[in-house]
Chains A and B, each alone.
Chain A
Amino acid sequence: MSESNFTTKFLKLFGIDNQGHNRRDPLNVWVPLISVGLALIFGMIVIAASGRNPFQAYGLLFGDSGLIPGGPAWRREFAELLIKSAMYIATGLSVALAFKGGLFNIGAEGQFWVGAIVATFFGYWAPVAHTFGAMYAALGSFGWIAQLLHGAICVIMGMLAGGAWAAVAGYLYVKRGVNIVIGTIMLNWIAWFLITSWLVIGPMTPPSQTFTSGTFYVADTAKLWRIMMPTRLNTSILLVLLAAYATWFLLYKTTVGYEIRAIGYTANIGMEAPRAQGINISRRILQLMFFSGALAALGGTFFILGMQYQFPNTAIMGYGWTGIAIALIGQSEPLGVVLAGLFIGALRTGATSMQVANIPKTFSDIIEGMAVGFIAMQVAVRYYLVKIIQHRHARRDPPADQEAAA
């Protein structure tokens, strides 16, 4: 088999290294778009193969996704789209930021839930909640200051905890050589079981409740403001856009970001260049993991303070895994992550109404997974793209091509 031989040559031809990184390559925009397009086509095939009408199903999917204005329920759907997207963009940014430093933070899931549980705790914990409750009552018409402070404390504490949780994996990687993928996977499950099989059914449950009821509810002052009544759209989307801007600023406008990218570009070839430059690689990787975990945890705080107001006993994993898909579709660029997050949020919003056509709402997982699969095969996608382009050029301008060949 000579495929590898040929693949490498092909990649070199386009100035792409073995990982497919080349920021100036216009195909970078096309690869995720084509991957998502192919995934949608495959989704149609799945629906058609099971004897249902794919056009009706996609009509429901996109019609109720909140992307298309109009219709009686549009405001609600649009709000749901933004609420969901805010959480997915947060985990997507987390994974994307780590990718930029050459790390695969598969642990956004665990960091998300750590952020959620810590936000819950500071939302209901009596000393904090009573202080801000009293403050709210005392301030009267300036009560929003108390809300702002309490919300900020919950969000910041959640982010610090999530960052610390991710930094554990960073520490194990830097000091002990534990592969970051394995380390974060293990920490995912440790966080998940500690939270759902211990904290939520034990210490954090109201004493009078059964163990299926979840934790205490957070105080009113901790809840995120609603910005589009009567829908439940809250400030989370604004916060996450701010976080996306901050991530972009960190990556492209600060020294730390430059060093992170330098580490990321050379991660597979020993990081000699950044080391020779005098960059403290261990410290940067620890910081990177902390920032990455904090971003994922931000999504977790939205889950509690914007939607659930308590840590429910019925929470389902998946936000971090979706974050990986979003980071890949967004090609790890903050703007791309925001767009990919909005798209996935729309899919998930619309998927709930596909149940009318007897299609489970996990259908969006199939699309996501296939898109990720095609992005994993991006070398193939690029290869056929270039072939198509070359074919077109050859047809339009045959003599020039022959000259080039000669």
Chain B
Amino acid sequence: MSIIQINLTIAQMLDYTMPILFAALCGVLSESAGVVNIGLDGIMRFGAFFGLLGAFFSHSPWIGLLFGIAIGCLVGALHAFITIRWNGDQTVSGVAINVIAVGLMTYLLEYVFSTTGYSPQIQNYFGAQAYRVHLPFLAKIPLLGAFSNLSFMIWFGFICTVLMHVLLYHTVLGLRIRTCGENPKAATTLGINVFRIRWFAVIVGAALAGIGGATLSISSFSGFSDSMPNGVGFIGLAAMIFGKWTPFGALGAALLFGTGQIVQSIIAVTGIAPKLAPGLTLILPYVLTLAVLAGFVGKSIAPAADGLPYYKEQR
């Protein structure tokens, strides 16, 4: 396996990682504030379709990215409206978003492009050479060479992780968000508006999931397929838990799971094992997550008030 092959494999792995990472960051932010978002798989599906829609009609992936963010915010606002304004069950609301996403995106795909299964391919996407971030000085260095020619979205994912860490652990707002997730009663006592903080966290988180969906359709691939996101949102959910509800933990978990996704192709290239059942590598994220949750490998604990609607006068 030559250096070039290794570099290509790393770059490919990062392509798989980023959608998982964005989904995981959505979960981290939303659940830090105490709102479970099972619907992030559905939000990714929205983001993937609308991201492609924007990029297709404007011939610019940047517009596509904006579309992904906008639709993410919209669906996030719906989730917030149901779960925060009306204290609806957060899991039920998430299921609703997932199911609507399945039906509505297929409908829109057929309506807008008159095709079934796949949208037309686009030329101007973040994976195209013109839109890649070129760092020629890295190209000669082994391993780091993989980072010399990456899609913008990959760097954006790393940046978002750092920003999220700073937001959550080094700002007042972050402290407030985490308080709302751990003990909303105490937050209210301190004069924090729990509802406003939760609205903020859910909408910004959903925008990240929308970006994750757009990453699938206009960065990792150059088109929308009806099977998207194919459970990536749920892998993101797993990555969030495996990363113990922290941004950098989510990044590590997403990298690990992204590697798991392409192990099959690595094996094929290197010929280590001629034939391994793909199912056995695909279940890796879920098995690891269960192991962590069950405390067989380390221990992962959710924010204390995660998933509970907040009633101001409840004692």
Residues in chain A within 8 A of chain B (CB atoms): 1, 3-5, 7-8, 18-19, 46, 50, 104, 106, 172, 176, 178-179, 181-183, 185-187, 189-190, 193-199, 202, 318, 321-322, 324-325, 328, 358-360, 362-370, 372-373, 375-380
Contacting residues, chain A, for B278 (C-beta < 8 A): 193, 197-198
Q: Of the 9-residue stretches B66-74, B81-89, B163-171, which lies at the interface with chain A?
A: B81-89
Question: Which 5 A-B residue pairs are closest in the complex by CB-CB distance?
Answer: A365-B103, A198-B279, A369-B100, A197-B279, A369-B99
* Nearest chain B CB to A121 CB, angstrom units: 16
Q: Is there an interface contact between B314 and A18, defined as CB atoms closer than 8 Å?
A: yes
Whether B290 lies near A178 (C-beta < 8 A) is yes
CB–CB B302/A179 < 8 A: yes
Interface residues of B in 105-126 (CB under 8 A from A): 106-107, 110-111, 116
Asked if B294 contacts A8 (CB within 8 A), the reply is no
A365 touches B99 (CB 8 A): yes
Contact residues of B: prevailing secondary structure:
helix
CB distance from A389 to the nearest CB of B (A): 19
CB–CB B87/A379 < 8 A: yes
Number of interface residues of B (CB under 8 A): 58
Q: How far does the alpha carbon of A368 sit from the alpha carbon of B103 in the complex, in Å? A: 9
Q: List 29 A-B contacts (CB under 8 A).
A: A1-B193, A7-B86, A7-B87, A8-B313, A18-B309, A104-B91, A172-B290, A189-B231, A195-B279, A197-B278, A197-B282, A202-B277, A321-B98, A321-B99, A359-B107, A359-B110, A362-B103, A364-B103, A365-B104, A368-B103, A369-B96, A369-B98, A369-B103, A372-B92, A372-B99, A373-B78, A373-B93, A376-B88, A376-B93
Q: Contacts A172-B294, A368-B99, A372-B99: A5 and B231 contacting too (C-beta < 8 A)?
A: no
Cβ of A176: which chain B residues have Cβ within 8 Å of it? 293-295
B312 touches A5 (CB 8 A): yes
Q: Which of B95, B100, B237, B287 makes the CB contact (< 8 A) with A366?
A: B100
A373–B90 CA distance with the chains assembled, in angstroms: 10
Task: Provide the residues of chain A in CB contact with B231, threshold 8 Å.
Answer: 189
User: Is chain A's binding surface mostly helix, strand, loop or mixed?
Assistant: helix
Closest CB of chain A to B300's CB: distance in Å?
10
Asked whether any CB of chain A lies closer than 8 Å to the CB of B57, the reply is no
Query: For residue A359, which residues in chain B have a CB less than 8 angstroms away from its CB?
Result: 107, 110
Chain B contacts for A182, CB-based, 8 A: 237, 241, 289, 293
Q: Do residues B311 and A4 form an inter-chain contact, with CB atoms below 8 A? A: yes
Nearest A residue to B231, CB-CB: A189
Q: Which residues of B contact A324 (CB under 8 A)?
A: 92, 95
Q: Which residue of A lies closest to B90 (CB)?
A: A376
Q: Is B131 an interface residue (CB 8 A)?
A: no
Closest-by-CB residue of B relative to A382 is: B86
* Alpha-carbon gap, A199 to B45, bound state (A): 28
Beta-carbon contact of B93 and A190 below 8 Å: no
A59 to B: closest C-beta gap in Å = 18
- Nearest B residue (CB) for A195: B279
- Nearest residue, chain B, Cβ from A197: B279
Asked if A377 and B88 make an inter-chain contact with CB atoms under 8 angstroms apart, the answer reads yes
Report the separation of the CA atoms of residues A7 and B310 in the bound assembly, to the nearest whole angstrom.
11
Q: Please determine whether B313 and A373 come into contact, CB atoms closer than 8 angstroms.
A: no
Query: With a CB–CB cut-off of 8 A, which chain B residues contact A106?
Result: 38, 91, 95
Chain B hits for A321, CB < 8 A: 95, 98-99
Min CB distance B315 to A, Å, is 11
A199 and B279 in contact, given A46-B107, A376-B88, A377-B86 (Cβ under 8 angstroms): yes
Please tell me if B97 contacts chain A, counting CB pairs below 8 Å: yes
Distance from B313 Cβ to chain A, minimum over Cβ atoms (Å): 6
- The chain A residue with its CB closest to the CB of B301 is A177
Q: Are B100 and A373 in contact (CB under 8 A)?
A: yes
Closest chain A residue, CB of each to CB of B264: A197
B314 touches A363 (CB 8 A): no
Q: Please tell me if B190 contacts chain A, counting CB pairs below 8 Å.
A: no
Nearest CB of A to B265, in Å: 14
Instruction: Give the complex CA separation of A321 and B100 in angstroms.
Output: 11
Task: Tell me whether B221 is interfacial, beta carbon within 8 Å.
Answer: no
Q: Does chain A have a CB within 8 A of B56?
A: no
